């Protein structure tokens, strides 16, 4: 029996028992991707001895090899489903959630009993949430849900489902904020007096304190006006404002420069929502500095960071692999991207 026929018989369950036991021990001469898929198939074999052996082999399979497979876009869905339901290590579950090939139904199951940190990762993928609303429902049923995760769920439901929006776009959100700012501009009675920076202390810390003191006396609508039309120093403060609408309006300022956005991307004091908006903007992610600062920022949502790894220079990828401040999943994927580049160069 040739190898192709053996593999076919193993996959369809017609192979002799001794061959199935041999494969269930992980001894079949197959690439890791096909081996894991076969073991998952055999874990459901009608013969309890074979199923038990395959399950035992999977349980003891090296974690790093499982991780590399569940991160791959071409990973078999059956493998993703198996490890999502077998109390796998946190890193493996995170990789499954971050893999765009993972079906929404699998993530929905994970959402029922995930850790708080994994719940936040699940909520990052707005496209998947729109395709599978069951995920949001299960997040709310999770006994480990935090107040922040519950706030995100409510925000997503109001923003996307109540208005029947069909796709997630930063541009549309930006237009909404811009429209809000324009309404402030048109209402003359709500326009604030100019925030004059003349006469303020020259010392940076004292100067910022003085500006903060003046901003603290303003209404939200006045802050929005300054976020859109104010000076550079004011924008640098309002981008960190606790009010989401105020902070988001800064990104719509016609005066905003790429250097400013690069500085925002490096700030650890801005909200992850601001970093997400920058990362999802085609306009602001054209420049290398913005991309580099986003990936280095530990507050940047992992989904955003990992999407940009391939655009980083090799020297910066090497530094990322040793950076313990960024999420573990981003660091591992930086190493993986580095290895792939090295393999490509060696193949030439």
Segment 77-93 mean pLDDT: 86
Predicted pLDDT of residue 214: 87
Indicate the pLDDT class of residue 241, thresholds 50, 70 and 90: very high
Question: What are the CA-CA distances from residue 302 to residues 275, 279, 284 (Å)?
Answer: 11, 11, 18
Are 103 and 78 contacting, i.e. CB atoms less than 8 angstroms apart?
no
pLDDT digits (tens, 9 = 90+) for 303-323: 899 889 989 999 999 999 999
Say yes or no to pLDDT of 155 above 80.
no
User: Helices 32-42 and 48-59 meet at what angle, rounded to 10?
Assistant: 140
First-to-last alpha carbon distance for the chain, in angstroms, is 37
Higher-pLDDT residue of 275 and 7 is 275
CA distance 169 to 277: 9
Q: What is the dihedral of CA 190, 271, 296, 265, to 10 degrees?
A: -10
Segment 140-163 mean pLDDT: 79
pLDDT digits (tens, 9 = 90+) for 269-290: 999 999 999 998 888 898 899 9
Q: How many CB atoms lie within 10 A of CB 186?
A: 9
CA distance 335 to 71: 13
CA distance 92 to 323: 20
Q: How many CB atoms lie within 10 A of CB 104?
A: 18
Question: What are the CA-CA distances from residue 54 to residues 46, 80, 113, 134 (Å)?
Answer: 12, 16, 25, 31
The chain-wide mean pLDDT, for the chain, equals 82
Predicted pLDDT of residue 272: 92
CA distance 25 to 170: 49
For residue 300, give the 3-state DSSP assignment.
coil
DSSP letter, residue 162 = T
Predicted pLDDT of residue 160: 66
Percent of the chain with pLDDT over 90: 28
Are 334 and 307 contacting, i.e. CB atoms less than 8 angstroms apart?
no
Task: Give the range among 152-166, 179-193, 263-277 with minimum mean pLDDT.
Answer: 179-193
Segment 144-163 mean pLDDT: 77
Predicted pLDDT of residue 168: 38
From 139, 179, 180, select the one nearest 156 (Cα to Cα).
139
The two most distant CA atoms of the chain are separated, in Å, by 89
Say yes or no to pLDDT of 164 above 90.
no
From 155, 134, 222, 238, select the one nearest 184 (Cα to Cα).
222
Question: What are the CA-CA distances from residue 270 to residues 31, 275, 277 (Å)?
Answer: 44, 7, 12
Say yes or no to pLDDT of 170 above 70.
no
Domain parsing of the chain, residue ranges: 1-61, 88-168, 174-256, 257-348
* Sequence-separated (6 or more) residues with CB below 8 Å from residue 221: 184, 190
For residue 308, give the 3-state DSSP assignment.
helix
């Amino acid at each position: 029996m040739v190898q192709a026929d053996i593999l076919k018989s193993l996959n369809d369950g017609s192979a002799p028992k001794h061959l199935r036991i041999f494969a269930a021990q992980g001894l079949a001469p197959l690439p890791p991707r096909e081996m894991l898929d076969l073991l998952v198939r055999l874990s459901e074999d009608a013969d309890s001895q074979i199923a038990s052996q395959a399950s035992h082999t999977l349980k003891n399979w090296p974690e790093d090899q499982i991780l590399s497979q569940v991160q791959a876009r071409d990973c078999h869905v059956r493998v993703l489903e198996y490890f999502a339901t077998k109390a796998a290590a946190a890193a493996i579950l995170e990789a499954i959630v971050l893999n765009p090939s993972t079906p929404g139904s699998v993530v929905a199951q994970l959402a029922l009993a995930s850790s708080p940190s994994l719940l936040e990762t699940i909520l990052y993928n707005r496209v998947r949430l729109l395709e599978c609303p069951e995920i949001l429902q299960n997040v709310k049923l999770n006994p480990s849900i935090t107040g922040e995760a519950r706030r995100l769920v409510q925000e997503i439901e109001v923003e996307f489902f109540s208005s029947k929006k069909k796709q997630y776009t930063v541009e549309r959100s930006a237009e909404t904020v811009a429209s809000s700012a324009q309404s402030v501009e048109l209402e003359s009675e709500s326009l604030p007096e100019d925030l004059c920076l003349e006469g303020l202390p020259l010392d940076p810390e004292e100067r910022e304190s003085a500006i903060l003191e003046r901003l603290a006396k303003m209404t939200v609508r006045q802050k929005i006006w300054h976020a859109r039309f104010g000076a550079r120093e004011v924008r640098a403060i309002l981008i960190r404002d606790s009010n989401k609408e105020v902070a988001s309006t800064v990104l719509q300022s016609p005066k905003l420069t790429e250097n400013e956005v690069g500085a925002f991307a490096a700030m650890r004091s801005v909200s992850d929502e601001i970093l997400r908006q920058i990362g999802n903007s085609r306009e602001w992610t054209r420049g290398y500095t913005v991309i580099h600062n986003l990936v280095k920022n530990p507050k940047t949502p992992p989904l955003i960071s990992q999407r940009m790894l391939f655009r980083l220079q090799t020297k910066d990828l090497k530094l990322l692999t040793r950076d313990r401040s960024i999420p573990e999943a981003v660091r591992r994927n930086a190493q993986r991207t580095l290895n792939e580049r090295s393999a490509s160069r060696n193949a030439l």
